[in-house]
Chain A
Amino acid sequence: MKLLFQKLRLPLIAVALVTLAALVAQAQDPRIQTASLDHLAAKASQTVDVNIDERLIRLAAKLLSDKDSDEKEVKEIITGLKGIYVRSFEFEADGQYTAADVDSIRTQLRAPSWTRMVNVASKKEGGLEVYILMNGEQIGGLAVIATDDRELTVVNLVGLVNLDKLAKLEGQFGVPELGIEKAKPKNDQ
C-alpha cells in the first residue's frame, strides 16, 4: 500500500495542481454563465440574448470611423473588448423571477476576483449592481445585474473595459439602455 502511494504520489500531486489551477482560472473567468436563467424564457413576455464574440468585435472596431466623433468613442470602448453578452427578460407580472435566479449570477461574482462598484447608479427605477474583474491595473471584465419588479437583465463585457465611457455603449451592440451613471457622493449633513 505504501509502495503504491509512493508510486502514485507524483501523479496525484499533478492532478491536484491541475484541478486547483482550473478552479482558480474559473474563478477569474470574466465570462459569466447564465444558463441557470434559461427557464425564465418560458415565462417572460420578452427575452433577448445577445452574443457578440471577439471576432465580431474586432471587425466592428476596424469598421467604425475615426472621423465621426460618436463612432470614434464607441470604437475606443470596444477595442479592448473580447465579448459582449446580454440576457434580458421582461415579464407581464411581478414575482416571475426569484432571488435564487439572481443569486445564481451573483455567486459567480465573488471576491477576491470580482469587486462590486459602489459609486454607480441608474437613472432608471429598480436595482443596479455593477461588478468588475481587475486584470492588473485595468478592468478585465464587467458584469451588470439590473433588476426591476418585471425585468431582469444581465450584461457581461469580457476584456478591457473603460468604465467612464460605458454609458456610450447603451443602446448599441445589443446593450440595453441601463441608465448607468456615477453616483453623486452622499451629503452627510
Chain B
Amino acid sequence: MKTIRIKALAVLSVTLGLTFVFALVVRAKGDDFNSVVKLIEHFYGVKHQGIPFLAKAGMKVTTTAAKIKGGSARRLAEAGSVKVAFFEDQTFAGDFTRFRSSLNAALSQTWTPLIQTLSATDKEQTYIFVREADAKYNVLVITIEQREATVVQVTLSPQNLLLLMKDPEGTGKNITQEATIIDQE
C-alpha cells in the first residue's frame, strides 16, 4: 500500500515538474520580444517607445513598405506580423560583450543566433535570431547604436528566410528599415 502511494506521489511530482517546465518554455517563447526590450532597458537604463507612439507619429507599423536596392518596393515580413520597439535619443553606454552574453543567455532556449555583428569603435551592435513558427519563421532583429536602438520581430516566409540566410547583414537591415520606415504610399 505504502509502495503504491510513493509511486503515485512520484508520478504526480514528475507530471507537475514537466507541466511547470512546459509552461516556462511556452511563456519564454511567447514573450521573448518583450523580454529583449526589458533587457535593453535594464542593461542600459533606457526607456523604449512602442507601437502606440509610432502610431501617433503617423507610422503604419504593420503595413510598411521599404524601398530596397534597385528602387523596388518589397515587403519581407508577413502582413500583421511586425512588432517594433524604438529607443531614440538615449545613451547606450556599457560593456557590449556582457550585453551580448546576457542576450544570448535569455534567448538560447528557443532562438538560434543567425548572425551577430559588433563594432567596438562605432559602438554598434546587430543581432539576428531565428526560430520556427509552424511553416514560417520568426526573426528577431536587434540593432543598438550609440544614441538609438531598435527591436523588430517579424514572421518570414521560407523564401524570405532564404534571402536572410544568403545575405544576413543586408536583409537584416532591410527588415529593420521595412518595419520602421514611414509609409508614404
Stretch at the interface among B13-21, B43-51, B64-72, B156-164: B156-164
A22: interface (CB < 8 Å): no
Q: Contact: B161 with A59, CB < 8 Å?
A: yes
CB contact list, A58-105 vs B, under 8 A: 59-60, 62-64, 92
A50's partner among B132, B161, B168 (CB-CB below 8 A) is B168
A170: interface (CB < 8 Å): no
A111: interface (CB < 8 Å): no
B115's partner among A41, A45, A53, A174 (CB-CB below 8 A) is A174
B165: interface (CB < 8 Å): yes
**Which residues in A have their C-beta under 8 angstroms from that of B158?**
59, 62-63
Q: Contact: B97 with A44, CB < 8 Å?
A: no
CB contact list, B77-124 vs A, under 8 A: 95-97, 100, 112-122
Docked pose: A61 CA to B168 CA in angstroms: 16
B166: interface (CB < 8 Å): yes
Q: Contact: B162 with A59, CB < 8 Å?
A: yes
Docked pose: A62 CA to B162 CA in angstroms: 10
CB contact list, A37-62 vs B, under 8 A: 38, 41-53, 55-56, 59-60, 62
Secondary structure type dominating chain B contacts:
mixed
Docked pose: A62 CA to B116 CA in angstroms: 25
Q: Contact: A47 with B119, CB < 8 Å?
A: yes
**Which residues in A have their C-beta under 8 angstroms from that of B168?**
50, 174
Docked pose: A174 CA to B167 CA in angstroms: 7
How many whole Å from B140's CB to the nearest CB in chain A?
14
**Which residues in A have their C-beta under 8 angstroms from that of B159?**
63
B120's partner among A43, A49, A53, A60 (CB-CB below 8 A) is A43
Q: Contact: A52 with B114, CB < 8 Å?
A: yes
B142: interface (CB < 8 Å): no
**Which residues in A have their C-beta under 8 angstroms from that of B122?**
45
Q: Contact: B115 with A50, CB < 8 Å?
A: yes
| Closest B residue by C-beta to A39 | B97
Instruction: Pick the most buried of A43, A47, A55, A62: most chain B CB atoms within 10 A of its CB.
Output: A47
B130: interface (CB < 8 Å): yes
**Which residues in A have their C-beta under 8 angstroms from that of B167?**
172
9 example contacts (A-B, Cβ-Cβ < 8 A) are as follows A41-B96, A43-B120, A51-B113, A56-B165, A59-B158, A59-B161, A60-B162, A62-B158, A173-B166
Q: Spell out A's residues near B (CB within 8 Å).
A: 38, 41-53, 55-56, 59-60, 62-64, 92, 172-174
| A-B complex: 7 closest residue pairs judged by Cβ atoms | A47-B118, A45-B121, A49-B116, A63-B162, A48-B117, A50-B115, A172-B166
